[in-house]
Amino acid sequence: MKRLNSYIIKSFTGPFFLTFLVSVFVLLMQFLWKYLDDLVGKGLETAVIIELIFYAAMHLVTMALPLAVLLASIMTFGNLGERFELLAIKASGVSLLKIMRPLIFLNILITLFAFTLADQVIPVTNAKFQALLWSVKKQRPEMIIKEGIFSNEIDGYSIKVDEKDSDSKLLKGIMIYDHTENKGNTNVIIADSGYVNMSDDKNYMILTLFEGISYNDVSTSKRKDDNNNPFRRELFKKQKIVIGVSDFNLKRTDERYFKENYQTLKNKRLAASIDTLNMKYKNREEIMSRGIYYNDILNAEIVNNYHPDSIEVEKLYPDTIAIHVDSVFNALDDGKKRMVLHSAQRLAQQNQRAILQYQTDLYNRMVWINKHMIAWHKKYSLSIACLLFFFIGAPLGAIIRKGGFGMPVVVSILLFITYYLSTIIGEKIAREGIWKVEMVVWLPTFIFFLIGMLLTHQAVTDSMLLNGETYNRLIKSLNIFRYFKRKNNTSNEDTVSDQ
């Protein structure tokens, strides 16, 4: 039995490591596609790029592990079934569950490893990744030139552009104040359009300007009148300005600025943050409720609602007193009626503005709390998915009895995409507060748990429900084409008799 267990584990580990590397590579391609514009043309060192990819790969490990387990388990048991080894082992009196037992323990270890990685390691690498990515985005000098405002980050120059074309990288409406001589705004360049490029050594920024005018106040040594200085204006079709930007080389941002994000917190810190955020949400809700104008009776009820353990505030009016608003209002003269209506309208508009302001604030706080809760639950759900997908892949491979990279890959990708999409949709629903976070995050896991139990039961009991040969025999026995063939022969006979 030990030799059999060793053989099963060896048959599983090879495809597992191979599919794990392939899964990480495929997910990394998605990452590179997403951040390609932030990395290309920055003159980054190879070590920085490798470090950035490593941090991104660590973030993707928790997604790659369940897919690798699913692929490896289908391939392992599919190969055993295709080579009739599974049938021979069963014939010797060993059940499918006993065959799966060493891999069950192995996948429990993988599940624990995945959770430890997600809770202890990945938050640290996420902080490093976000800090390094932020540094990479900010290290390119031309990125500090923004639309509609003057950029003064480059020493000696103030640069403004009216429009930046994201596709062609063309700058339109360029204005440059040259302060390199420390004489004030004496040198001004205005251009219709231009481009920004970096030198090969990344130490200089080259501004290529088209259709512009250069204005210069020329100072002379013989000054007779301080208010009368020479002025020079030059028209140009094309002009290049070289600006030294050696100080803009990659400067790493401190990781501490990113350690309060929900993606960089461990579960213990996440739980504490969720409690703190919930407390702040309730305090904000209380401030909002008290910030809206009510009558005296409703004010007392609002106070009692937020202080249930305190002594109830004495009501200003007994319950037996009934005030008929319409009769009181009708008893007023026209002038007072207009005053009451204007006052009511003003208070209603004031309450409306307050409600809209607080509503947006409370919504943003709710979304932020839900993101923390989703991050807390996902560390458990994605880790358990490793074990869950094994109980789907192993019996499925034993049922379909196909190994290699053909059918197992297709089935695995379809199952994983279904799980991934349901998780993404569930997270969006949970963020919006439509359903409870706990229910939405764990619903795909529960559904796939039922699927895994069904497949395991079918494989252990050798049920023919999911066997493709059963349906092939059923179709052949029904012979649905016989009806169409008979009908065609009958129509042909009728045609011949008519002739």
Q: Is 323 left (phi over 0), alpha (psi -120 to 50) or beta?
A: beta
Number of folded domains that form the chain: 2
| Within-domain flag for 12 | no
Element (H, E) at 215: strand 204-217
Residue 489 belongs to domain spanning: 467-499
| Within-domain flag for 323 | no
pLDDT at 111: 93
Identify the residue with better confidence: 2 or 477. Answer: 2
pLDDT at 384: 92
| Within-domain flag for 203 | yes
Residue 493 has pLDDT above 60, yes or no: no
Q: What is the dihedral of CA 276, 280, 282, 287, to 10 degrees?
A: 170
Q: How far is CA 408 from CA 76, 92, 465, in A?
A: 10, 27, 19
Residue 313 has pLDDT above 50, yes or no: no
Looking at 214, 248, 282, the residue that finishes a domain is: 248
Least confident range of 232-241, 341-350, 380-389, 406-415: 406-415
pLDDT at 216: 77
Distance of CA 162 to the CA centre of its chain: 32
Rounded Cα distance, 29 and 48, in Å: 18
Phi, then psi, of 253 in degrees rounded to 5: -80, 145
pLDDT at 317: 47
| Within-domain flag for 232 | yes
**Which candidate, 419, 429, 432, 423, places its Cα nearest to that of 388?**
419
Radius of gyration of the chain, Cα coordinates, nearest whole angstrom: 36
Residue 481, burial from CB neighbour count under 10 angstroms (0-12, 13-18, 19+): exposed
Per residue in 86-140, pLDDT tens? 888 888 888 888 888 889 999 999 999 999 998 888 888 888 888 887 777 666 5
| Within-domain flag for 186 | yes
Q: What percent of the chain has pLDDT over 90?
A: 5
pTM above threshold 0.75: no
SS3 213: strand
Count CB atoms within 10 A of the CB of residue 18.
15
Residue 361 has pLDDT above 70, yes or no: yes
Give mean pLDDT, residues 256-277. 84
**Which candidate, 250, 10, 257, places its Cα nearest to that of 130?**
257
Residues contacting residue 20 through CB under 8 Å, at least 6 positions apart: 64, 65, 68, 72
Phi, then psi, of 318 in degrees rounded to 5: -65, 155
| Within-domain flag for 309 | no
Highest mean pLDDT pick, 17-21, 91-95, 234-238, 405-409: 17-21
Are the beta carbons of 143 and 137 closer than 8 angstroms?
yes
Rounded Cα distance, 6 and 102, in Å: 8
pLDDT at 116: 92
SS3 254: coil
One-letter amino acid for residue 450 of the chain:
L
Phi, then psi, of 406 in degrees rounded to 5: -90, -100
Are the beta carbons of 340 and 348 closer than 8 angstroms?
no
pLDDT at 283: 82
Identify the residue with better confidence: 330 or 271. Answer: 271
Looking at 248, 271, 293, the residue that finishes a domain is: 248
Rounded Cα distance, 70 and 397, in Å: 10
For every residue of 161-187, DSSP letters joined together read EEEE-TTT--EEEEEEEE-TTSSSS-E
Tell me the CB-side half-sphere exposure of residue 98, using CA atoms within 13 A: 10
Residue 481 has pLDDT above 60, yes or no: no
Look at the alpha carbons of 25, 30, 35, 37 in this order and tell me if their dihedral is positive or negative: positive
Residue 390 has pLDDT above 60, yes or no: yes
Looking at 188, 222, 248, the residue that finishes a domain is: 248
For every residue of 272-303, DSSP letters joined together read HHHHHHHHHHHHHHHHHHHTS---HHHHHHHH
Q: How far does the chain reach from its first CA to its final CA, in angstroms? A: 77
pLDDT at 285: 78
- Encode 313-335: b = buried (16+ Cβ within 10 Å), e = exposed: eeeeeeeeeeeeeeeeeeeeeee
What does pLDDT average to over the chain?
Answer: 77
Identify the residue with better confidence: 63 or 244. Answer: 63
**Which candidate, 407, 400, 390, 419, places its Cα nearest to that of 459?**
400
Per residue in 37-92, pLDDT tens? 666 655 567 787 788 888 888 888 888 899 899 888 888 888 888 888 888 888 88
| Within-domain flag for 197 | yes
Rounded Cα distance, 130 and 132, in Å: 6
| Within-domain flag for 205 | yes
